[in-house]
Amino acid sequence: MTYALIVAPFTVLGLLAFAATARRPALRRRLAASVVTAVILVVLTVIFDNAMIAAGLFTYPDALISGIRVGLAPIEDLSYPIVAAFAVPAIAELLRPRRRVPPAPTDTETEPAR
């Protein structure tokens, strides 16, 4: 099984979670935070994957990767932090109890008491 196939189910679940929260409040704020988080995680992944591969801690069999690399690290390794940056906030939003919106006051409720 290739590394791309391993991450595929997580990507699908992450996309479904994100889609399920698309109409919830504060989507833009969550999306902006996810983008910033994804960039930071990708940079850190590139740095530390390259360091660990260069140190000989692990390798990737050529038959299981696409062949596209960022330094020594295969591009597939970047999918994990990207999926996590978008899926984790979406899942947290799905687990958060929804706030109930109180009903609008009726005319009798807005008149002062006499």
Query: Which has the higher per-residue pLDDT, 61 or 109?
Result: 61
Residues 6+ apart with CB under 8 A from 70: 46, 50, 78
- Residue 67 tokens, joined: 């062949």
Which amino acid belongs to residue 87? A
Task: Please indicate whether residue 99 or residue 79 has the higher confidence score (pLDDT).
Answer: 79
The proportion of the chain whose per-residue pLDDT surpasses 70, expressed as a percent, equals 89
- Burial of residue 65 (CB within 10 Å: 0-12, 13-18, 19+) is middle
Higher pLDDT, 21 or 100: 21
Phi–psi pair at 69, nearest 5 degrees: -130, 150
Q: What is the pLDDT of residues 31-66, one digit of tens each?
A: 999 999 999 999 999 999 999 999 999 988 889 998
